Amino acid sequence: MSTFSFSIPRDIVYGEGSLNRLSTLKGKRAALVTGGSSMKKFGFLDQAQNLLRKAGIESIIIDGVEPNPSVETVWRGAKAMQEFNPDWIVAIGGGSALDAAKVMWCFYEHPHLKFEDIITPGSMPALRNKARFVAIPSTSGTASEITAFSVITDTKNHIKYPIVAADMVPDIAIIDPALPAKMPKEVTANTGMDVMCHSVEALASTAATSYTDPYAIESIRLVFENIEKAYTNPNDMTARFNMHNASALAGMAFTNASLGLVHALAHKIGGEFGVTHGLANAILMPYIIDFNRKYTDKYSTAERILGIKDIAEEIRVLNKKLGIPATFKECKEVDFNERKFAEVFERMSKNAHGDPCILTNPGKPTIDDVKRIYQAAYYGKSLK
Ligand SMILES: NC(=O)c1ccc[n+]([C@@H]2O[C@H](COP(=O)([O-])OP(=O)(O)OC[C@H]3O[C@@H](n4cnc5c(N)ncnc54)[C@H](O)[C@@H]3O)[C@@H](O)[C@H]2O)c1
Ligand SMILES: [Fe+2]
């Protein structure tokens, strides 16, 4: 019999107003890490600095973390931290800001390390020698506030690296739905379908257990019931609350059970074309559920519990309602022209097959399987 472990942040504070938890931190200096401008624009960055001030904590802001954060951004932030010497790192923003802050934290604590030194799962040295970590998500999507993961892009080689280290699970997750209520419609749709994908993949994972399945199932239920409401009525705070919690619940499932083929393929097509993470997942997911079905009975379990007939079909219907295209060929977000797709196809398929997320996918997908799925999701071919 094997032994297992289940890790989540020590403190999870959720609901409207939970941002106030910052005023009770004990410490001297905090580095606030954030993305482009949304947190500043909507006043959350000022609120966070004021709450920290109330706690007697001086803070600096490390901003400008781009979507799909790069190794260079991580170095820039780590350097600023080395100069300021914070005892708290407070990441506030989307998954990109939270992910970048986690790896900045690692290089702040271990300045001698190179990016290559932390790519292999389990290779990151211990954290919390200098600082602890608060994560405040502004998207209901990646669940980076719960997880041991960070996705960093090597822009020179067009590869997104999922970094895995148990020590990167934040100390405190603040899950306040006031932040994601400001998301534009397409960000609500894409990040929300990322949540669906996390729970569907964690459920079907070969590492799923009785500890992870309930979170995955509850998260799938919450997304089916709330994503369209949050998309059509951004101020529906009940839907926002449910989606923000669904995201964290999915995180509890997948940080412990890991993911699968959808994320493996999405990481690599994201690295090649720059397509938004949740959008790539949403397009790939129904194809991969059809492909995986012969290797797992977990989709039938979800269908039975949720009272639905075919989860892949339900996701296709939902995608359509959220303005998400059925194929990459129809996707207008980035230039998915056929010539470039053919050009990168071999490299992208090989890299996707090497992505660690594939290890827990049911069945043992080959490179040919990966190619077949990319083709199907590009042209809209059935994999049933
Ligand atoms: N760490 C993990 O466990 C994990 C899991 C899945 C994906 N990821 C990674 O996370 C990244 C994607 O993160 P994301 O989907 O949260 O998006 P994101 O952080 O890239 O943000 C998307 C866009 O939305 C804006 N935005 C964010 N919150 C907003 C708000 N409340 N109001 C208005 N605008 C807002 C951002 O400025 C940005 O322009 C990818 O790099 C992906 O690979 C990480
Ligand atoms: Fe994801």
pLDDT given at position 1:
64
Q: Which ligand is nearest to the CA of 196?
A: 2
pLDDT given at position 356:
87
pLDDT given at position 210:
97
pLDDT given at position 122:
84
Matching fold, domains 11-175 and 194-379: no
Q: Model-level pTM greater than 0.85?
A: yes
pLDDT given at position 107:
98
Q: How far apart are CA 189 and CA 338, in angstroms?
A: 26
Counting from 1 in the atom list of ligand 1, the atom nearest the Cα of 267 is: 43
Q: Is the CB of 147 under 6 A from ligand 1?
A: yes
Q: Is the CB of 36 under 6 A from ligand 1?
A: yes
* Domain residue ranges of the chain, discontinuous segments joined by +: 11-175, 194-379
Q: Looking at the domain covering 11-175, what would its CATH class be? A: alpha beta
Q: Which ligand is nearest to the CA of 95?
A: 1
Q: What share of the chain is helix, strand, coil (3-state, %, to 5)?
A: 55, 10, 35
Low-confidence ranges of the chain (pLDDT < 50): none
Q: Which ligand is nearest to the CA of 173?
A: 1
pLDDT given at position 5:
84
Counting from 1 in the atom list of ligand 1, the atom nearest the Cα of 44 is: 31
Q: For 133-150, how does the pLDDT look when each residue is reduced to its tens digit (9 = 90+)?
A: 999 999 999 999 999 999
**Segment (H or E) for 132:** strand 132-137
Cα 323 to its chain centre, rounded Å, is 21
Question: Do the Cβ atoms of 193 and 140 come closer than 8 Å?
Answer: no
Tell how far the Cα of 67 is from the centroid of ligand 1, in angstroms: 6
Please name the residue whose Cα sits nearest to atom 37 of ligand 1: 36
Q: How far apart are CA 59 and CA 306, in angstroms?
A: 46
Counting from 1 in the atom list of ligand 1, the atom nearest the Cα of 66 is: 20
- Angle separating helix axes 185-204 and 261-273, nearest 10 degrees: 140
Q: Is the CB of 182 under 6 A from ligand 1?
A: yes
Mutate to test the pocket of ligand 1, among 142, 243, 273 (most ligand atoms within 8 A of CB): 142
Q: Is the CB of 274 under 6 A from ligand 1?
A: no
SS3 151: strand
Q: Is the CB of 276 under 6 A from ligand 1?
A: no
Name the pairing type of β-strands 88-93 and 132-137.
Answer: parallel
Q: Is the CB of 179 under 6 A from ligand 1?
A: yes
Question: Do the Cβ atoms of 248 and 333 come closer than 8 Å?
Answer: no
Tell how far the Cα of 4 is from the centroid of ligand 2, in angstroms: 23
Question: Do the Cβ atoms of 15 and 176 come closer than 8 Å?
Answer: yes
Q: Which ligand is nearest to the CA of 276?
A: 1
In sequence order, what E strands does 40-122 have?
A: 58-62, 88-93
Q: How far apart are CA 248 and CA 145, in angstroms?
A: 7
Q: How far apart are CA 140 and CA 104, in angstroms?
A: 22
Counting from 1 in the atom list of ligand 1, the atom nearest the Cα of 179 is: 31
Mutate to test the pocket of ligand 1, among 99, 175, 198 (most ligand atoms within 8 A of CB): 99
Return the CATH architecture of domain 194-379. Up-down Bundle (1.20)
Tell how far the Cα of 141 is from the centroid of ligand 1, in angstroms: 7
Q: Which ligand is nearest to the CA of 260?
A: 2
Q: For 161-208, how does the pLDDT look when each residue is reduced to its tens digit (9 = 90+)?
A: 889 999 999 999 999 999 999 999 999 999 999 999 999 999 999 999
Q: Is the CB of 45 under 6 A from ligand 1?
A: no
Please name the residue whose Cα sits nearest to atom 15 of ligand 1: 191
Instruction: Give me Rg for the CA atoms of the chain.
Output: 20
Q: Is the CB of 139 under 6 A from ligand 1?
A: yes
Tell how far the Cα of 263 is from the centroid of ligand 2, in angstroms: 6
